[in-house]
Amino acid sequence: MQKNKSMPNKNDAEFYANLENKLSKTSNWPSAYLYKFIVPTSEAKIKKLVDIFDNLGAVINTKQSSKGKFTSVSIHLKMNNPQDVITKYKEVGKKIEGVISL
């Protein structure tokens, strides 16, 4: 699975500024937030992802692709503000190689 070149770079400051602006305008904070990630199927990578959200009251669901190469991970939790949402995206990007944020 290749990343679409037109997808925004998740490390881009402009991307995060736009995301923060949209989250501020569309939700009352604190608010429930749904993170969605796709990771290469690997127990170690999935565990790292789960550990990032551990002890936050998150509800985490995983589903393996039909061929088993990738796993989608949905994480539902209450976040305090848009900056906290962005901080978690950045942490995931730094700690887990090959993760795709949706």
**Global confidence as pTM:** 0.83
- pLDDT attached to residue 12: 78
Nearest to 92 by CA among 59, 63, 51: 51
Tens digits of residue pLDDT in 47-92 = 999 999 988 999 999 999 999 999 999 999 999 999 999 999 999 9
Q: Would you say residue 18 lies in a domain?
A: no
Give the domain range for residue 35.
29-89
Task: Specify the CATH number for the domain of residue 39.
Answer: 3.30.70.260
The predicted structure's pLDDT at residue 5: 34
Residue 36 lies in a domain: yes
Q: 3 pLDDT exceeds 50?
A: no
Residues 31 and 79: beta-carbon distance below 8 Å: yes
pLDDT at 55: 87
Q: Which residues pair with 42 in a beta bridge?
A: none
**Residue 65 forms part of a structural domain:** yes
For the chain, how many structural domains are there in total? 1
pLDDT digits (tens, 9 = 90+) for 80-95: 999 999 999 999 999 9
Query: If you average pLDDT over every residue of the chain, what do you get?
Result: 89
* Residue 1, pLDDT above cutoff 70: no
Residue 97 lies in a domain: no
